[in-house]
Structure 1
Amino acid sequence: MSTEKTNPTVKSADRVLDIFELFAEMKEMNLMEISRQLELPTSSVFKILQNLESRGYLEKDESRKTFRLGYKIFEIGAKYAQNTSLTAEFTQIAQHIVDEINEAVYMSIRSGSNILYIAEKQSTQAVRLVSHLGMQLPLHSTAMGKMLLSGLDDEEVKAMYPESHLGVLTENTLESLPNLLEQLAVIRQEGIAYSRGEAILGIHCTAAPIYNADGNIIAAMSISIPSTRWNETVWKQMKELVTEGANKLSLIHYYQQS
């Protein structure tokens, strides 16, 4: 009798995990696609999807009738990431940067077409940004996002943005795919990315890449500053500090993985 009661629970858990694994391969899927991949009745899958959506683990695009991973997955991932050695090392390196320049330092990873903030060190300035931890912003609108995109080739970037017009957050956000590709080419050459009020008006950012042992960009590090405190001298210092910090994190990750 106990076996009969526990088996449905196990099967349900397996199906939930199967769905998450599907979304690890596909960005979006509709009900029929998920049912076909899992070889399950649509009625059974629909109930699971409804539960996952209500808990924030999936999001639904009503216009296209498709599902994608929700904020809750990334929230959990961000909290887990805080306990990894990379984020622990980030805290020490970011503190050094804050001591030097007293501006906010962030680290993010790619989450689909967004960046996900997984670590931060705030400044002690009276005027500063609120916490970004766990927040997501479009890749093309942020310095860290553009740095993460620069690790892809142009064809991969084009596949991410089938429409030439990009989403706009502020009057300074890049609006077209050709402009984005042009900026990514410069980023690959210079090894540094910028955002000047493109995600949040009045906030300037500079970002550098964090590499894994295979030489792939796995994360990005940035320094943000309100435009009221910006000047060329500070800008130069920001570029030097964020590059140095990201290089240290890359070396740490290299030796941990090799």
Structure 2
Amino acid sequence: MARAVPAVERAFDVLELFLDAHELSAPEITAQLGLPRTTVHELVGTLSERGYLMPAGRGSNRFRLGMRGFQLGAAYAERLDLAREGQLVAEDIAERCQETVHVGVRDGADVLYVAKVDSSHPVRMVSAVGRRLPAHCTALGKVLLAALPHAEVDELYGNRRLDAMTEHSITTRKALRQELDAIAKDGVAREYCESNESVACVAAPVCDESGEVVAAMSISVPILRWNDETEAALRELVREGAAALSECLGHTGSRTLL
């Protein structure tokens, strides 16, 4: 791996603060990153000159993301067929089940939502495209982890205890490995209140033209509408949706995690 450039890392640290904040001042950035005040002013100045940050208002000493970041994101989205095709297939699946449908990709030990269609019911899961969650706490994430070699999963988590989002979350590597092995054999992942105390979910893998698992599709349901019959129906539907999206990405063979 190439040596990381500290100045570039600090610039990205500044930008990534805005993933969770609409506006920030230089003192707030300084406090959150623990960097010298002069360093932050130089970073903010440079990022502003390049269009990655902009003043929150005329004469304001607060900043928000600039248009350059939007342009890069738009260029990325335009080239990412997965997001576009995933949205279309998710819309079809959501119409058939009237529940929330997500398409996500793995980013390290997290899962990142790239497409989403909301449930038509008034009681539904709250989420957003661009949100990330710990992969081991979600059906989407677990089905993506199940496609990895054991050694790669071990490298992701080491021997540490896994962080929990609810009391139902998997917290040990042994328990995670057992579940991932079961998912690999079955082809569908299940989550019950592991990332949200009020939500259950099923997910299936999405493959590209080479047969590699590149994404996953999930259907999320509030537990007040969850039962064995619903789960069985949604397991088949999410398989269909994931297969349809795989075909859109050029996959023609059978899907398997093994």
- Equivalent-residue separation in structure 1 for 2:148 and 2:132 (angstroms): 19
Pick from 185, 205, 210: which aligns with 2:206?
Answer: 210
Instruction: Provide the TM-score with structure 1 as the length reference.
Output: 0.72
Instruction: Please tell me whether residue 248 in structure 1 is matched to residue 244 in structure 2.
Output: yes
Structure 1 unaligned regions, length at least 5: 1-20, 23-32, 35-44, 63-71
Pick from 122, 127, 151: which aligns with 2:123?
Answer: 127
Q: How far 1:246 sits from its partner (Å)?
A: 0.3
Alpha-carbon RMSD across the aligned residues, in angstroms, is 2.9
Structure 2 unaligned regions, length at least 5: 20-31, 35-64, 253-258
Instruction: Please tell me whether residue 148 in structure 1 is matched to residue 144 in structure 2.
Output: yes
Note if contact 1:82-1:119 (Cα within 8 Å) is conserved in structure 2. no
Note if contact 2:143-2:188 (Cα within 8 Å) is conserved in structure 1. yes
Corresponding position of 1:182: 178
The 5 Å alignment of 1:36-115 reads 45-56=5-16, 80-81=76-77, 84-115=80-111
Cα distance per residue 1:196-242 (max 9 Å; x no partner) = 11011110010000011221110000000000011122111111111
In structure 2, do the counterparts of structure 1 residues 61 and 155 end up closer, same or farther at CA, with 3 Å as the change threshold? farther
Give secondary structure in 2 for the equivalent of 1:49.
Answer: helix
- Equivalent-residue separation in structure 1 for 2:74 and 2:184 (angstroms): 27
Cα distance per residue 1:155-195 (max 9 Å; x no partner) = 11111111242111100000100110001111110000011
Cα distance per residue 1:39-61 (max 9 Å; x no partner) = xxxxxx44443333212289999
Aligned length: 206
Corresponding position of 1:225: 221
- Equivalent-residue separation in structure 2 for 1:126 and 1:57 (angstroms): 32
Spell out structure 1 runs of 4+ moving beyond 4 A: 57-62, 76-79
In structure 2, do the counterparts of structure 1 residues 122 and 79 end up closer, same or farther at CA, with 3 Å as the change threshold? farther
- Equivalent-residue separation in structure 2 for 1:115 and 1:192 (angstroms): 16
Note if contact 1:120-1:133 (Cα within 8 Å) is conserved in structure 2. yes
Q: Which has the higher helix share?
A: 1
Cα distance per residue 1:68-94 (max 9 Å; x no partner) = xxxx99xx6598437743333323322
Deviates more, 1:170-179 or 1:125-134: 125-134
In structure 2, do the counterparts of structure 1 residues 205 and 54 end up closer, same or farther at CA, with 3 Å as the change threshold? same
Cα distance per residue 1:5-27 (max 9 Å; x no partner) = xxxxxxxxxxxxxxxx95xxxxx
Q: How far 1:146 sits from its partner (Å)?
A: 0.5
Note if contact 1:78-1:117 (Cα within 8 Å) is conserved in structure 2. no
- Equivalent-residue separation in structure 2 for 1:131 and 1:85 (angstroms): 22
Note if contact 1:212-1:218 (Cα within 8 Å) is conserved in structure 2. yes
Deviates more, 1:218-227 or 1:127-136: 127-136
- Equivalent-residue separation in structure 2 for 1:85 and 1:196 (angstroms): 30
Q: Report the AA paired with residue 49 of structure 1.
A: E
Instruction: Provide the TM-score with structure 2 as the length reference.
Output: 0.72
- Equivalent-residue separation in structure 1 for 2:167 and 2:191 (angstroms): 12
